[in-house]
Every structure is written in C-alpha cells, then in structure tokens.
Amino acid sequence: MFKRVLVPLDGSARAERALGVAKRIARASGGSIVLVRVVDPVSDLWPVNQAPLVETQLKVAAVYLADLLNEESGAPTAADSSSIPAETLALRGNPASNILSAITSSGADCVVLCSHGQSTETSWRVGGVSAKIARHAKVPVLILKERGSVPAGPHPDATEPLRVLVPLDGSVNARVALAPAARLLVDLAQGAPAALHLLHVIPAEVQMLSSDERKQDLVNKASSYLKEMAAKLKDGSIDPALVNRHPDVTWSVMLDSDVANAIIRAAENGDAQEGSGSIARCDGIAMSTHGMSGIRRWAMGSVTERVMYGTRLPLLITRPAWVEEKVNQEEVRASVVSDQIRH
C-alpha cells in the first residue's frame, strides 16, 4: 500500500482536487501526505533584485499550505486534513525539478496531482509540469484531469465496483503497472467492490500480415497471457501484499488499428471483443511509461503519451526501475559522440 503521498499544489482550486484522493490513499494505509508548493520567479534575467519578492512569495506559499492543513482557508477539499499526518514544503525554482527533488527528499512513494485536463499534442510535446513529473518520477504518479472524475472513494453506485483498466502488451515493462494499480484500487475502495481489468490490443500492423487463422492464434495467445497475469495477481505472485486483498480481475482482447484510441475507448465507454465478459466503463487507467516501444516511448505517437493527453479519466503512470540507468547510459553515450564530432 502507499504510505507517503506527495501532492503538488499551485494555489488553485483545480490543483486542490487532488487532496481528497491523496488523503483517502494515506488514510487506508495509515500513512501521511506531503503538500508541496513551488514559487517560480518570473525571470532570473530581470535587472531588479527579486530576493525580497521571492521571500514574500515563499511566506505566502507556506501560509497557504498551513491553511489547508488547519482548515482555516475554508476550502472544502481541505476537510479532514488534520486527521492525517502531514507536512508542507514551500520551494523556490522550476516547478517540475523541485517537485521531482521533493519526491526523493520526502520519501514519497506516490504522487497525486491534477493536470489542466485534455491537452493538445503540442502542449504535451513541449512539456507541462505534470508530463515532466510523469516522465521522470521514480514512483507512481496519479494524474487527475481538470474536467474529469476524481476517484476519492468507492464507486457511487454500490452495485458497481471501482474499476481500473491496465493495458498489457506482453512485455515485462508493461507489467510494472499491475501492482501499483491493484494497490491504488484497494486503498481507494477500502473494502468496497473493486475490479482490475486487463486489456491487450492487437494492432493493425500485426493483423494485416496475418491470415484469419493466424489472427485467431494471436487472440488465443493474448488471452492465455492475460489469464496468466490474472492468476498471478490473485495468488500474490505480482505483489505478495495483495494476496488476501486483491481486487477482482477480468480481462479482454481487442483488435484495433489504433492502440491508444482503443485503450481510451475501452476505459471510457466499455468495449471488448474477446475475454471474460464485456468490460464496463472504468474509473481510471494504469500504464507503464515503457512497453514494447522501449526507451523511445515519449516520441510522438507513443501509446502512453497519447493516452495521457487523450483521456478524461485519472491515469496512474509507473516508470520501470531500470529506466534511470538506461537514460544515464544513453546520455553518456550521446555526450561521447558529441565530443568526437567536435574534435
């Protein structure tokens, strides 16, 4: 379970929507929350001395965070903060960099933040704060959309489980999302019905090169794989802590020319072609930053990135542990090549 949840805030009601979810997660595990606000100077190139202004902004940020914890601001999202161990951090500088540093320094094992809703491809390409945090955080990041739902508890319909979809492509990297997704579901549901739906999408390029018999073989193999993953979740092989607390697990296989769109459609509307029953609308999606596409997953057209800016649902993004080492190796290699070109 998640024990220490970090919540980046910018002073807006939009960002504060993440508080309810963070508190629910922390309360379920007997954990704590860390509220962070970063003061970003207008420009370090201004000829005037910004130090007094920045110090004032930091004090205002500290008061704002304290007000949230003490329920003095009157914001409805701050309810019950006092019942959960919490601390605040008011920092100066680049928001994304400071938040990433705060994740490490505070010992957070999860981040909950609210983005600006459905963004365009251009805005994700140039990079927003939430996108940078999702790319580089070493812990799972739950991104809530400005105009989307906020899963701060069990499903409002008592007959329906709180449901999260996890797309799997057969790779070890994609499987990284399974354990955090199951933990999040258990924390949010807190004993109420919860379900994890595993989805495999067979892309068009595979379909076009295959006969009908071959397509059916691909579907059968994908189905067997998803059944195996479902069994591993139930017996604790994926996460031993969930052996007695795992959510219900269902699965389905789809054939679609657009993998990202298929994932979004299945999660938001409910859609399945093969599996253990049709899937109902989900309350969230959980994905790894890396799947079959490897280290180049953030290039335009990557499945995770397209789902991130395309869905209205909350999205839990988990980064495989090996990525940091791989990125560092590629940066060193690029630096060597650059030096060789210069000389």
**What per-residue confidence (pLDDT) applies to 256?**
86
Of 84, 88, 72, whose CA–CA distance to 35 is shortest? 88
Q: Could you tell me how many residues make up the chain?
A: 343
Helix (H), strand (E) at residue 218: helix 212-235
Per-residue pLDDT of 192-218, as tens digits, reads 889 999 999 988 776 666 677 788 888
- Cβ contacts of 329 within 8 Å, gap of 6 or more: none
Of all residues in the chain, the percent with pLDDT exceeding 90 is 31
Better-scored residue on pLDDT, 325 or 318: 318
**What per-residue confidence (pLDDT) applies to 343?**
45
Question: Can you give the C-alpha Rg of the chain in angstroms?
Answer: 21
pLDDT at 32 over 80: yes
Choice among 111-120, 138-147, 185-194 with the minimum mean pLDDT? 111-120
Q: What is the pTM of this model?
A: 0.82
pLDDT at 121 over 50: no
Domains by residue range for the chain, with CATH: 4-114 (3.40.50.620), 162-324 (3.40.50.620)
